[in-house]
Amino acid sequence: MEELQDEIKKRRTFAIISHPDAGKTTLTEKLLLYGGAIHLAGSIKSRKAQRHAVSDWMEIEKQRGISVTSSVLQFDYGGCRINILDTPGHQDFSEDTYRTLMAVDSAVMVMDAAKGIETQTKKLFKVCKQRNIPIFTFVNKLDRFGKAPLDLMDEIENVLGIRAYPMNWPIGIDGRYCGVYNRIKNNVELFASDDSHGQKERDSVVYSLDDEKLIENIDTDIYESLIDDIDLLNAAGEKWNDEKVAKGELTPMFFGSAMTNFGVKNFLEEYLRLAPSPQPHESTNGLIMPDDDKFSAFVFKIQANMNPAHHDRLAFIRICSGKFERNMQVLQVRNDKVIKLSQPQQFLAQDRQIIDNAYPGDIVGLFDPGIFRIGDTICDVKKKFRFADFPVFPPERFARVEAKDTMKRKQFIKGIAQLTQEGAVQLFEQPGAGMESYIVGTVGQLQFDVLEYRLKNEYNVDINITMQPFEVARWLELKNGMEVTPESLRGADRGMFVYDMKKQPVLLVSNEWALGWIIDNNPDLLLHNVPPDKQEV
């Protein structure tokens, strides 16, 4: 029990959310560098290149130079065990990106100092906000010109609706910064010039605020503007509040530059001090505490075809309570079956290793012979319950998908059903269209590429994908409980009337304006962004 509690206390499990190019990969790499998991920054990228030279798993990833599915990185620092769940960093992100956020206890939001909050960050932020998890902000690229720190704070407040508490403050004027003022320690860190281009930990010198050497080392106007800023923050800034940070209402904000290592170590240390260890999860049995000695976990991601030669599928689980032991027997609740967890794996990028033990907060990959689905609970045989359902993400892109060769209809249906079950895409049927073609809904364009690739490689089916001009799906109900049909809906021809796989009626329309017309002309209609029995993000 004591061992379990110690292990829980040590763990920090988080994801980094950002818009592409804000510096998520670079920051992750620097955290690994400080954690001693790699020795020279840049090695993740070069390892990636090498790996592609010898292996061709997930061809798309290679072709487009992106990470299609999230990976998990684990390392130790300062007595903590850190699990970083990577979220795909391409603008065509998928549901996987959202689901990763269901498995973390906090999130780090990286933003480019010159760009502020961008679209993808906003979408991912929404999921974090709904989960009420703490959000830490890292304003990156301070080594070059960016927006003024106070303007960035305003942007967080106005665009995201949460308050920001600067933990440090850049020293300099107009984007030329020579160090940071640490508000917690009330000292100043000046960075030595460095010719390693951020490949190594950066040297710095720490001064107290009134140290004469500091005043000698920086220009008077810079020093004075720093003192003014500190006064302003202390007088008019948000006050620190642990509870608000824990609920994600106040974001500790750090300034730095991942590329030049400026502020990275301080960020890591403060983050580890403030970020929560594994948190309880809601279930049909009430809250499941991490230190409950009965093991439990849920599946948040299924990754197929990591090794095409073996038709390899891995189910990624997040451990919620108890100790995980290799070969343990657990209950897979949905199928009500006892299964043995053999070959559990952990990851450093794509390197896997078999593990013997793991604890709450850890992510483990289980070999999946096709028995797992996203959101599945696995738990101790003697204590059966289910974790709360995952919320559903409204699809935003739609395409008609059909097999090129009608002789392959059977494989096509089997493949597409399997991929839907895995949660890779959402499937709809158009009345009268038969089973030759489906309407497929996704949250990102990339999912269509993945669908095409997997149907070809795993089911040997070539498909035609015809994008449809819709961006909005609404599940339909009538207030009087009667069935909605294409005939009973005024203006059904302004969009496309389809059924989801549970035969629930759905209308696809091209924009909010078209939707407005439908609402105005069908006063008895109830519209839902996701199936009525599901919770929306």
Q: Residue numbers of the site for ligand G4P (CB under 6 A)? A: 18, 20-26, 89, 140-141, 143-144, 257-259
State the Cα angle at 467 between 463 and 471, rounded to 5°.
Answer: 140
In the complex with ligand G4P, the residue whose CB is nearer, 24 or 265, is 24
Quick one: tokens of 501? 């796989």
CB of 419 to ligand G4P, least distance (A): 27
In the complex with ligand G4P, the residue whose CB is nearer, 115 or 373, is 115
In the complex with ligand G4P, the residue whose CB is nearer, 42 or 391, is 42
Owner of token pair 């010898």: 54
Distance of CA 454 to the CA centre of its chain: 22
Integer angstrom CA distances of residue 392 from 10, 33, 426: 31, 36, 10
Kindly report the number of other CB atoms within 10 A of residue 414's CB atom.
13
Spell out the residues 6+ positions from residue 495 whose beta carbon is closer than 8 angstroms to its own: 470, 507, 508, 509, 510, 514, 518
CB of 143 to ligand G4P, least distance (A): 5
Question: What single-letter amino acid sits at 422?
Answer: E
CB of 149 to ligand G4P, least distance (A): 15
Owner of token pair 């720093």: 226
CB of 156 to ligand G4P, least distance (A): 18
In the complex with ligand G4P, the residue whose CB is nearer, 198 or 361, is 198
β-partners of residue 187 are 182, 208
Quick one: tokens of 199? 């490949």
Spell out the residues 6+ positions from residue 140 whose beta carbon is closer than 8 angstroms to its own: 22, 23, 26, 27, 110, 111, 112, 113, 256, 257, 258
Quick one: tokens of 281? 């999860």
In the complex with ligand G4P, the residue whose CB is nearer, 51 or 408, is 51
In the complex with ligand G4P, the residue whose CB is nearer, 22 or 107, is 22
CB of 71 to ligand G4P, least distance (A): 13
CB of 264 to ligand G4P, least distance (A): 9
Kindly report the number of other CB atoms within 10 A of residue 441's CB atom.
24
In the complex with ligand G4P, the residue whose CB is nearer, 259 or 440, is 259
Owner of token pair 């003697």: 382
Q: In angstroms, rounded to a whole number, what is the distance separating the alpha carbons of residues 445 and 434?
A: 25
Q: Which residues of 85-119 are buried (b: 16+ CB within 10 A; e: fewer)?
A: bbbbbbebbbbbbbbbbbbbbbbbbbbbbbbbbbe
In the complex with ligand G4P, the residue whose CB is nearer, 144 or 244, is 144
CB of 254 to ligand G4P, least distance (A): 12
In the complex with ligand G4P, the residue whose CB is nearer, 267 or 475, is 267
CB of 152 to ligand G4P, least distance (A): 15
CB of 19 to ligand G4P, least distance (A): 7
CB of 70 to ligand G4P, least distance (A): 13
Q: What is the DSSP letter of 160?
A: I
Using DSSP, state whether 498 is helix, strand or coil: strand
The secondary structure element, H or E, covering residue 61 is: helix 59-64
In the complex with ligand G4P, the residue whose CB is nearer, 139 or 424, is 139
